[in-house]
Each structure stands twice: as structure tokens, then as C-alpha cells.
Chain A
Amino acid sequence: MLASFLQGLALLFAVALISQDYRDLEKNTPLEKLTGYPNYKSVGKFKGLFQDGKAAPWDLHIIDYFKLFGATPRARGYRPNQPIKFSHVVHVQKLKLDCGYCHWTATKSPYAAIPSVETCMTCHSQVQQTGIEEWDVEIKKLLDYYQKGEQIPWVKVHVQPAYVKFNHEAHIRGGVGCHECHGQVGEMPVVERASSMKMGWCIECHRQRGASIDCYSCHY
């Protein structure tokens, strides 16, 4: 019985890796397509599993990778296409915008809200011609949304299940920098998941900082 159990796991593991590749091919845009961006080395797709968060290779949460079940990918390197190819590289590195300028609620409430269309338009009502064609195309998209008065359907990258209560305000007040969970977003042409954000990964940090590891501080 034990043997068959292990066999089963091995099988799952194999399928997982295959489906992982398959998913990457389908979902992620190859980098060379994104011309005009500084080249950026993607985090390997397996690292999400091994290199952080104490996740063991035989951990059954490997299931999270399954295309089969249509589960939201929760691994490092998850990099879906966005309705607008918004580049943090440009806005953070070139324009030196602070995270808090757009994600202003992060310091005021549990949620770090995605900025409203109007927030974008505070600048882009002026900035519409950049000279770089690829960029203007994207800005055009924004303007269209604005004219139509529609919200922009961004694709969520840092998915947490509903039973996890993560309070951005509390963490920022506790001196946790944005990058510690979200990685160097400033260097990402397309936002991707920089950490697996699995429980063990949270706990590790909580332990290091002497924060509460009572289940009730996140799950209720």
C-alpha cells in the first residue's frame, strides 16, 4: 500500500511538471515580444516550490499547479497577461513614483487597492504621446477605458484564498516593506508572483520577526 502511495505521488509530480510547462507556454508572453523594456530574467518556475517557503517536493499542495483542476496558480513566477501592459519598470525606475502614490490605501486599510482609472488619468490626461509606439498603444487602451467609463479588469497575481486575512496596513506599520512579499516589482515589466505566499513562508517570517503565530491572527 505504501509503495502504491509513493508511486501515486511520483505520477502526480510528473503530471504536475508537464502541466506546468504547458501552462507557461500558453499563459506567459515570451519576453522578446515585450520590446522596449529592459530585459528581465524570470524566476524559474520550479523555484516557487523548492526555494522558498519550506515547501517539500512531496508536498501535496503541488496540486495547486494543476491545469487539470483549473486551480489558480499560486507559485513563484506566475505571470499572467494583463489587459494593459502596464510597466512598473517605467513608472518606478524611470519616473521614480512611490508605491504609495497609486496604492494609497495600503497604509490606511487592510487592502492595498489597485488605483482607480481616475488616478491613472491624473497624469495620463497630460501624458498621452511618449514617442515609443508600444507604450502609446497601451496608453490608448487606458484612455478608451476612461472614455467608456469602464473599470480595468486587471488579472489578480497575488491570489490568497478567502480564509486568509492579510492586513496590509498592519504589515507596513510593522516595518515590512512591499518588496518583501511582492519582490522588486520595480524591475518587473509584467508583474509576477515573486514568492509562493504559502503558509510556511508566512510563518517563517512571523517567527523571525517575533510576530504572533496564533492561527487566529490570520484565519477567522
Chain B
Amino acid sequence: MLFKINKKSASTRRDFLTSAALFSLAGCADNKLELIHPHFKDPEYAIPGNSVYYATLCTECQAGCGLLAETKEGRVIKVEGNPDHPINKGKTCALGQSLPQAHYDPNRVREPIEKTQLNDSKGNPVFSFNPLQLNDALSKFATKIKNASKILWISKELDSFSSLYVQEFCKKFNINFITYEFFNYEHVQKACKRVFDVDALPEYDLSSADIIVSFGAEFLEYWLNPVKFSRDWAFRRKNAQVFHCQIEPRQTLTGAKADLWLCIKPHTEIYFALALLKAIQKLKNSPLPVEILSYLNKLEIEDLISKTDIPSHFLHSLANKLVMASSPVVLGGGVQARGEHAETLEVACLLINYCLEAVGKTIDFSSGVKCSSDFASLDKALSEFDFSDPKAVLILSGNIEPWLPTRLSISEKAKQKQASIIGFFEILNTTAKLCDLILPVDNCLETFSAQVRGGLVTLGQPAMLRLYKSRHISEYLTAVQNALLNNQDSNVDVYNLFENYLRKSFNLNSQEIKKAQEVGFFPLAKSKIKPKLAIKSFSIGAAKDLDDAKLKLLPLGTVKAWDGRGENRGWLHELHDPISLVSWDCWIELHPKTAKKLRLKNKDYVKLYNSSGYIEGIVVINPLMKPGTVGVPLGITSGEESLSFAKIVKWANANKLFDLKESSLLASSFKIEKTTPRKQVYQTQVTTDEHGRDLIKVKVLKSDYSELKSEVKDEKHHHHGVNLYEQRKKPMFKWGLSVDLAICTGCSACVVACYAENNIPVVGPRIVAQGRRMSWITIHQYTKNLPDNSVRRVFVPLMCQQCGNAPCEPVCPVYATYHNEEGLNAMIYNRCVGTRYCANNCVYKVRRFNWFEYEFPDSLKLQLNPDVTKRGVGVMEKCNFCIQRINEVKFRAKKEGRLPRDGEIQTACQQSCPTGAIVFGNLLDESSLVSQTVKSERGWKLLDDMVNTQPAVTYLADLKFQT
């Protein structure tokens, strides 16, 4: 995954030098006799060179997004959202985009492995991992199950196909099966049970909401169903039809997009919620149960609000807004809000929604989605589990270890263990290393899966053959079952098992199954339920943990790592976190005041530790967080855990700092101290300030969107058509792009998509620190002070602007870059000699140079896109609006004797963008979507007024309501 210098090509260069002076340096591309290996038998569907798409399912999280896996010559080269799928409508998050790297991960478990413990000369235990035959592995597994005294199975949330077989298996052999996710929604589910007596998670419909109040719920990042939420939110947001208020101690990406961002004292969200509930109840006097009413009456809004450090006028205006709104929605707590009152907070939120009559309108329980994660019983079971008992068996599936609090950590308990641990794993991660017997399981791109969400059943199917000797978990279990209960008849082929599952659970016939698999999903009969209020009373204990004297630790989720499930994927590590701008490294966020108190400054290296764990990282000064708090990113795990870059950066896992009780994430007191500073700083931006140059536009609205229509654009600077070179003949296309900053959430899906589509190498931390990152599109961050004296973080996806009057073109001495007739600023790699003058002269600094020969590890080579040249050393490269896609569609259209339709050509970034902020198309076609958006009142072209570059990319100003 990390680059390494290609010795082969290097050695040929050596030959050139030594044997033929300077004239003879030819630099020919390929220098060996090439062989062609034709198929032995022509494949049934695929024609070599053409893509085949498979509709499948993303099992990265529980949202159940449908995918299209693009395969060429039998390899998956990219995954994209399934455009027909109602949940994600063809969009994906960064994590979903990185799925191929999970599939081709160099650390995949390639065959069953048995771990044996030896002792080295000093008598310390050393482990050796030996490969096994599949049958031996199965028999070992079977025997262990047979004569086990007690079996405990801890698993991440499985898709419903697997979990069916797992649960059957567990029933048969009375195994105690426990599911656990770090980002779980247990407390939400409990709250729903208490308030409405429904045993399901709420499903929010933001596409109709006109006020969203969120207590730190990161619904644009990773909360519940981010892709769907982002789309719905953006749909309202584009025309400023929704007022969005975010209440949280440290600004998340979601908070950055809010109209009103309230910085609340950590873990006091509940008091604000109660105050809000009371205020709204007063205004609407809605029928709440008597106890609750009396309880609310006991409370005083003023002293509630005083606990939260938020001026009370905000509360009242918010309450009024909510009451006025036609379809408001209040979202529960996010990761930061998971204090001691996490569950009560959800209860309060549901009650507020109830008072606002949002339930049934914007909130819906009918699809009966459950969260099976259950920490309480995990806690119980693990602490009871007797590791000294040789007959006890612990089964693990999913990377649990980094998610467990230290007091439960298996690696600790298993030090002097007798009990045997068995694991089902894709990747040889920390948890896998604890197992005595590792059974490799399929990645979701090479097997079947199913997910029940949003009134649908989404089906997953293999997009390519298995890479290694892995099996689906259900195959293992059925095989073992057959062996133990010796029934030979039942079939262990995954497809049959899958069919049985579909037949059993949804009684489909084979026709329906076939159809469903083509489409990728089928709808479920939905029973619309109108939940009744079931709760009688609730209350919260005395305020604990509120003294300002001691620092509080804030857990932060990130779009690149979530809770750590994206580990070991170069694409995600190479991403910078859009807020801290740190790539590859771990960081610690401090408010300027806090930093001053701790005598720390930006880019210091510190170690933060408490009784249960530690992390090391760079200090990032962040004004948009509560003073007296320390933010630590979750799930950015240590080098040991993500093996691909272990040797380069070393840090520990922030999850370990926190102690989980029920669903609350709290840290005991901790210490921060400076450590030896690292040579490199993996922060990708020198500054987020504009330095007085008015580059990025933000429109602040008083009442509504119509203001913009009234205000006139200043034509002062627009000196278009100033072009010294002769005009070309009238072309048919002029490709253009527009980026709507009002709905760009900085989720970075586009960046990963671009990496996947264009064979962009992952260069690793050292080279990123040298400012040599290769990403063609990057999320730049600017902080602006707005007239309504609020501070706004704006995220600007910056790709090549394809200038109509490009400074890079005239300076290239060899015509490696020039302007083609379709308005593209072409970059021809094989003509480039590498003077780098173009990159100097590019005012956006979006050109990327291959400083070394970057090589992909073997398994990751399989992902490379054959339509895009892999660039060699000494060559400039940059975004080219996915020219390979343009050419493909143009040729297809030509074959069918027509012009490309609008929206038929989709750049990779546009295709992945969950909010549809990026629009691509033909600017000469008046009816095309992009030429509509370009005309928007908010549209402006970056730096054009200063340098007259005449870009083909138009940015639409960020939107915000005045507060």
C-alpha cells in the first residue's frame, strides 16, 4: 500500500546511464518480451475490455446501502452506489468507496491458520502462525465445540443472512452469542422502548424537515444512516428550506454545516433538552403524562440552562422556531453526547418530538430496524468467562479488541489462558492475532449477504471469485453442524444456504430470487404503526461531573476512521481529517485557552494517558470547541493494528481511553505531557485563514432564499474573453463542473472515489509530510468570520479547474499540457519531461508530480483501473474530469448514433458525492443541469477576478441563516 521505489525500472535507468552516455536515454515504457495468455475458455458474460456490473450490498456499516461493483477481466476495480437503490440512490460514503481495498487488503487471511505458542531462549512466549488444510481446521473447530464446557461468541453486527445461521448454530450448541459495536444505538433503542414501547430504532425522514435540532448527532458523517440523511438534508438545504441547529461541545463536520451552532458544556445536553422540552410543552401544552408534567414543573428553565453555558435566549428562540415549524425534527445524541445521561437524553428528545407531533411525520418506527449490540450482557459474559478453564471456548468475529474497554480487554485476560479462542476473520488484525484458530471469511465483494433496512431487503452477491481459501461463515457452521450431528444430506455451498435463507425468511421462489439479485434488493411489506406514548415518568439524578476545574475528554468520530473499522486502508489513512487536517497521524484537539493553560502550542507532540490507555499525537488548536475540553479522535488505531504502516507511524488507540458503561463513553481523569517532537508533521495545510484575500464566498441570509435573487452580482472584475491566443473552431462540448459549497459536507467520499478511479498511488506518511500527496481532489478548509460575528468553517473540494485561460499551458516546453477542443486542460503523461513549470504556474496548485516510482503491493495491483495509465516517475499528473469516462460514454453514444445525454457522463467524484454537491456536464448545452447551476446567484469562480484564469469549475457560495 505504501509506495516503494521500483528497483526494476531504476536498474534500467542505470543501464541507460552507464552504457550510453546522455544522448541515449530513451525511457521506453516497457522493456521485456510481452506474452499474451488468452483465456482457456471464454467467460460466459464478460467480453475482455468491457465492464460488468454486479448489484450487491455494502456491509461496512448497518445502513444497508446498495452497491454496484464494477468488474473488468474478472476483477473488482471499483464500487459505486446502486442508483436504483432507495436508501443511497447511487451514493456512498468514504468508507464504502474504500471497500475494494478491504477486499484486496494485503493482510487478508489467505487460509485457515493455527496459532501455536512456543517459548524463545529467554522463555518468553513467541507465537507461530501455521497454515492448515480447510478440513483439518473444520475438524479442529468441531472437536473444540463438541467437548467445550462453555462457549461464548462475541461478534460485530452481522448481516441478517449470516446472523440467521449463526443464531441457529448457537441455539443448537447452546452458545452464548453476543453482538457488540462500538458505535452502537442501544441507548436509542432502549429509549424508544421506554417512550413508545416499540422495539426498534427510529427512522428519520429529513427530506421533509424544515427544522433540524441535533444534540451532536453526526447525521452527515456516520450516525445511523449518513448517506441517506446527507441526501435528504442537502435536498432541503440547497434552497435554504431547512434551519439546522447543532448543539455539541466540539464542532463536527455536521456542526460546521449548521446555521446555529451552540457550543455546550460536555455532557449537559440533557439539561438543554429538558429545558427545551419544558419550553415547548409550555408553548403547546401538549398532553404529557402527569408525572412527567409535575417533574418538568419542578425544574427551572433558568438553572437548567445555566448548567449548559448557553445563553438562554437561544433556547427560547429555538423553542419558538420549533413550535412554528411545520415539520420539525429533533435528533438525539452523537458520540460526544454519550455521557452518563445518554439514554435519558434520547428519551427527552423523543418526548420533544412527540410534543411537536413529529412522530409519524418525520420519525417512523414501522420498518422495525433493530440494534442487536448489547454492552451490558457483553460486560457480564466477558467478566464471567473463565479463561483458565481449558474446555471453555471463545469465538470472535469482527475486530472487537480495539473496541473493548481495558478492563474487559481480551488480550489482557488471555495472557496466561487455558481456554481456546476461535475466530472468523477477513483480515489478520489485532483481534485475529489473539485466536488459536483463525478461519478466513469472505469479503462482502466475494460472497452473498443480505441486510434488512428502510423497508427493504438488500441482497449482496459475489462480484468476483474468491481471492483466497476463505468461506462464508454460514458454510463453516453448516459443515461443522453436519459433522457433529452427522447428517450428510444438507448442502454446504453458500449459494444454496443463501437461497434457503431467502426462502425461509421471505418465502421467495427462485424466479423472485433471480430478479431480486439483478435489481439488488426487494421491498418488504410495511405496516405503518402510529406509536402511543407508553412512558409514565422519568427523571435524572443530581448533576455529576460538571466541575469546570478538571479537563474533560471528548471522543471524536471521523469520516476517515469511524470507530476504527476502516483500519489498514491506505486511501482512508491518506485522507486528511477535514477539521484537524491531519493525515496518517493521530491528533489531540485543544481550545486556544486550554492550550495556553497547558502551555502547549500547535504542532507540539504530546502523549495523553490515563489508567486504561494512552495515545500520542500532534496538538491541533481548534477555536470551535469548548474551553476545558480535550478532543481525541476515535478508532485511529496504532501501527500495530494497521499493519501496512506499522514501521512508519506509531500511536495507540483512543478507544481504549474511554470506559464504557451501558452506552456512555466516559474517561477517568487523564494526563497530558509533551513527548519528543517528530521530524515530520502530517498536517496538510499551513493555514486555514484567508489572509485578507476574499477567496471563499459565504452568503448569510436574514429570512429566506429570495434575498439572493434580489441582490445583484458585481460585474466589476469580470473581464472575460480576454484571450491573446486565437479562438478555436466551434466545438460541440465544453465540459464544466459546479461545486455547491452550501451542501458540501467535507465527507471526503469524492477523494476516495478519485483514488479508486484514477489509480492514484498511496504514498505514505513521510511523503505526505513533505507535501507530495498525490490526491487529485482535496478538501481544503477555510475559516471565515461572518458579518453576524459567527465563525464558519467552509470545506472547498479543490480539483483542477480546467482553466479556459490556463497559466500552466503556455509554459510547458513540450506540449505535454494543452487546451483541447472540449475545454479540457489536457495532461499527457507520456509526453511530460518533468520541468514542473506548469505546477509552479498553476494558481490553484492542483497539479501533482510523481517524485518517485510508486508501486502498489501485489494484491492491491488487482484493483488498478485498466482504462487509466499508471504514471511513472518524473511525470506530472492532475484531475482530468475522468477523461476515460467521457471518452467511453462519447463512444457509446456514437455507436447508438446520438449525443451523450446530460448526466450520462459522471465523474468519479460526482458519482460518489452523497449530497450531489458536484455537478458535471456540457456547458454548451443550455438545458444541461450544470449550465443551470452555473447561473445560480451564488456562483463564482475561484481567483478568476484576480488572475483571469476563466475556470470551467464554478463554486456556489456557502449558505447560512443569520443568527
Contacts and interface: CB of A to CB of B under 8 A. Distances in A.
Interface stretch (A34-42, A47-55, A177-185, A211-219): A211-219
A118 B49 contact: no
Nearest to A116: B39
B33 A80 contact: yes
B24 A63 contact: yes
B40 interface: yes
Contact of A115 (B33, B38, B818, B828): B38
Interface in B853-876: 867-870
A109 B48 CA distance: 7
Interface stretch (B13-21, B227-235, B533-541, B545-553): B13-21
B12 interface: yes
B47 A163 contact: no
Q: Is the interface of A mostly helix, strand, loop or mixed?
A: loop
B829 A159 contact: no
Contact of B20 (A68, A80, A108, A119): A68
A165 B34 CA distance: 17
Contacts of B820: 214-216
B36 A108 contact: no
Given A72-B34, A154-B36, A214-B821, A163 B829 contact: yes
A113 B21 CA distance: 40
A96 interface: no
A63 B21 CA distance: 13
A215 B818 contact: yes
Interface in A172-197: 173
B23 A8 contact: yes
A151 B37 contact: yes
A155 B33 CA distance: 8
A72 B38 contact: no
Contact of B19 (A68, A71, A80, A170): A68
B37 A110 contact: no
A118 B36 contact: no
Interface residues of A, number: 51
A140 interface: no
Interface stretch (B306-314, B564-572, B879-887): B879-887
A141 to B, nearest CB: 15
Contacts of B868: 220
Interface string A87-130: 00000000000000000010011110111111100000000000
A216 B48 contact: no
A44 interface: no
A108 B891 CA distance: 12
Nearest to B880: A220
> Which residue of A12, A114, A119, A215 has the most chain B CB atoms within 10 A of its CB atom?
A215
Interface string A145-164: 00001111111100101111
B35 A165 contact: no
Contact of A63 (B28, B33, B36): B28
Contacts of A156: 33-36
B26 interface: yes
Contact of B828 (A64, A119, A219): A219
B611 interface: no
A60 interface: yes
B830 interface: yes
A9 B16 CA distance: 15
A220 B869 contact: yes
A70 interface: yes
Interface in A60-79: 60-61, 63-64, 66, 68-72
Given A214-B820, A216-B887, A151 B40 contact: yes
B831 interface: yes
A154 B35 contact: yes
A20 interface: no
A162 B29 contact: yes
B749 interface: no
> Which residue of B24, B31, B36, B830 has the most chain A CB atoms within 10 A of its CB atom?
B24
> Which residue of B20, B831, B867 has the most chain A CB atoms within 10 A of its CB atom?
B20
B38 A215 contact: no
A109 to B, nearest CB: 4
Contacts of A163: 29, 829-830, 869
> Which residue of B15, B21, B30, B868 has the most chain A CB atoms within 10 A of its CB atom?
B30
Contacts of B39: 113, 116-117, 151
A220 B870 CA distance: 9
B29 A8 contact: no
Contacts of B575: none
B715 interface: no
Interface in B816-839: 818, 820-821, 824, 826, 828-831
B147 interface: no
B23 A5 contact: yes
Given A12-B24, A69-B16, A71-B26, A110 B34 contact: no
Given A113-B48, A170-B891, A214-B820, A72 B30 contact: yes
Interface string B89-118: 000000000000000000000000000000
A156 B41 CA distance: 20
Contact of A150 (B40, B50, B869): B40
Contacts of B870: 162
A61 B880 CA distance: 28
Contacts of A68: 15, 19-20
Contact of B38 (A8, A152, A219): A152
Contacts of B33: 72, 80, 155-156
B709 interface: no
11 contacts: A9-B23, A70-B31, A71-B26, A105-B47, A113-B48, A151-B38, A161-B30, A162-B30, A214-B820, A216-B820, A216-B826
Interface of A: 5, 8-9, 12, 60-61, 63-64, 66, 68-72, 80, 105, 108-111, 113-119, 149-156, 159, 161-165, 167, 169-170, 173, 214-217, 219-220
Given A64-B26, A156-B35, A216-B824, 11 more contacts: A66-B26, A72-B31, A72-B33, A116-B41, A118-B40, A154-B37, A155-B36, A163-B830, A214-B821, A216-B820, A219-B831
The 7 closest A-B pairs by CB, nearest first: A63-B26, A161-B29, A109-B49, A156-B34, A114-B38, A163-B830, A111-B49
